[in-house]
Structure 1
Amino acid sequence: MNTTTLSPILNAKLTALKNNIRRFSAVAVAFSGGVDSTLLLKVCVEVLDDQVLPITVNGAMLPQSEFAEAQALAKDIGATPLVLEADVFSLDNFVKNPADRCYHCKKFIFTHIKNAALKNGYSVILDGSNLDDMKDYRPGIKALGELGIYSPLKESGLTKQDIRDLSAYYHLPTATKPAMACLATRIPTHTIITPETLTAIEAGEDYLKSLGLNQYRLRLLGDTAKIECDPKDFKTIIENRLTLVETLKNLGIKTITLDLAGYNCGNMNV
């Protein structure tokens, strides 16, 4: 039994979310295992029971550790995801990495999701976009609109903090999970994306995670890596710098730097 008390405002938003989901008899949920889609899946299952199909897309843009966590999360919530494999390197506008790469990638991935949902008898597809996503440069949101994907968290007025608070209310482990994004966001626009590049970024970030860092990014600028993390973790980076340098150089990275400004979401959008 949950004894946490929600504020009247947050309780009203949760009620609105449930009502927005209740409009449908069955839904497919684009499920990545992130903070937003995990809360969405949890509430969908609460409202619609077994009439919910989570769909997870696996590909080079997603760290394998995230994929494994997503599968475990869905099982804990009581739903079995349909897993789709997506070859993003078959998409020219992913590889070339233009400013609107996210639009093309989202369109590609959500077209796969929509086709799979329809094939399995689900005509309504939900995603975890929230109100705060409207404040950042998110070309992918255009693709969602074109495909008719519904975003109940956004429609219910939920911000990122609201979602974290509700995740804590539901005792979801993602309540304090750091923000995660497609591995391609670590690469500057108009820089060609290769499988080797994404593999190096994923391996490098796995090492940063092994050091106990919570919020971090490994930005790749040619053969130079720029580490962004919380300033409180600078000491950990310095203490482990020799092993960190060796690890990253073994991945083909020649120069390793630490951004003294710390982690900042959307740095590659600047």
Structure 2
Amino acid sequence: MPERRRERYTHLRAAIRDKKSLLISYSGGIDSTVLAVVARDVLGNNSACCLITSPLLPPCEEEAARAIAAREELQLFVRDSDILNNPEFRMNPKNRCAICKQESALILHGVADENGLKCIADGTNADDITRYRPGYQTGLSAGITHPFVEAGITKDDIRAIAKMHSIPEYAKPSSSCLATRLPYGEPLETQLLTRIARAEDVIRAAGAQQVRVRVHGDVARIETDPESTERIFVLRDVVRKAFHTLGFRHVALDLDGFESGSMD
């Protein structure tokens, strides 16, 4: 590991140690997984993770998160969120991430208090704060700490640390909640979110590593990694039929490929 990266890693461990006890907002993504593994090594039983489930979390991601936590021997709490019962959030406004972060913070504080954990953290990294992240400031205001940011840890650093800790998902593509598949102002309904999750499963089954199914009315627009675009096109009849079965009238393959935050 390069010297500067090692210095940041040492700083990260010190930042975690200073917190004495820590609950991590956990999703099974590479960021929160690495944070949880390092916290486990530094704090032992004084660290834990909380996975918050809702229709916004793809079922395959929940399953993977549980499996990773078990493999890495992380202390895991799972809590359900009824965020879709919030009328303001359900209308999918531009501040949806802030509303969700507030709801999540309440759940996390409850779990932390129940288990005597003094601090709460998430996997926000130094790269994230240079991008559009509407929930970041809300998290700070709600008492959520960001050890990666404190230590100047970037996404590349996180992948390197994951590899050092022999975490197989070190190259796993980033994921995001299903609300990001819809334009702002398009109501968030459980049935539609379920259809989107199933549509993305179809694309993954075709071999895609990175996938988003963005929905515009009755059009399902597939964004995927460049390497998978040709494969999806070859399998277009299978994909089209599967999407039609899910209730999408039109199916489009975006030739620009996957673009993180394209609905922001």
The TM-score with structure 1 as length reference comes to: 0.95
Cα distance in 2 between the residues matched to 1:113 and 1:233: 37
User: Matched residue pairs, number?
Assistant: 264
Aligned to 1:26: 21
Aligned match for 1:181, one of 176, 179, 182: 176
Please tell me the residue identity of whatever aligns with 1:234.
T
1:222-251 deviations in Å (ceiling 9; x for gaps) = 110111112221211111111111111111
Cα distance in 1 between the residues matched to 2:98 and 2:125: 17
Cα distance in 1 between the residues matched to 2:98 and 2:168: 30
Report how far residue 137 of structure 1 moved: 1.4
Cα distance in 2 between the residues matched to 1:258 and 1:125: 40
Report how far residue 133 of structure 1 moved: 0.9
Aligned to 1:198: 193
CA contact 2:218–2:248 (8 Å) conserved in 1: yes
Unaligned runs of 5+ in 1: 1-5
The TM-score with structure 2 as length reference comes to: 0.97
Cα distance in 2 between the residues matched to 1:253 and 1:135: 35
1:202-227 deviations in Å (ceiling 9; x for gaps) = 00001111111001110011110111
Aligned to 2:31: 36
Cα distance in 1 between the residues matched to 2:15 and 2:65: 24
Please tell me the residue identity of whatever aligns with 1:98.
P
Aligned match for 2:206, one of 211, 215, 236: 211
Please tell me the residue identity of whatever aligns with 1:87.
D
SS in 2 for 1:28: strand
Aligned to 2:82: 87
SS in 2 for 1:189: coil
Report how far residue 123 of structure 1 moved: 2.1
SS in 1 for 2:13: helix
Cα distance in 1 between the residues matched to 2:9 and 2:115: 28
Aligned match for 1:156, one of 143, 151, 156: 151
1:46-81 deviations in Å (ceiling 9; x for gaps) = 101111111111111101111111111112222231
Report how far residue 193 of structure 1 moved: 1.0
Counterparts of 1:1-270 in structure 2, within 5 Å, are 6-269=1-264
Unaligned runs of 5+ in 2: none
Report how far residue 82 of structure 1 moved: 0.6
Report how far residue 135 of structure 1 moved: 2.0
Cα distance in 1 between the residues matched to 2:259 and 2:15: 33
CA contact 1:127–1:151 (8 Å) conserved in 2: yes
Aligned to 1:3: none
Please tell me the residue identity of whatever aligns with 2:148.
L
CA contact 2:47–2:75 (8 Å) conserved in 1: no
SS in 2 for 1:131: coil
User: Percent identity over the alignment?
Assistant: 33
Cα distance in 1 between the residues matched to 2:225 and 2:76: 33
CA contact 2:173–2:209 (8 Å) conserved in 1: yes
Cα distance in 1 between the residues matched to 2:102 and 2:185: 19
CA contact 2:183–2:263 (8 Å) conserved in 1: yes
CA contact 1:50–1:79 (8 Å) conserved in 2: no
Please tell me the residue identity of whatever aligns with 1:60.
P
Cα distance in 2 between the residues matched to 1:205 and 1:176: 19
CA contact 1:61–1:88 (8 Å) conserved in 2: no
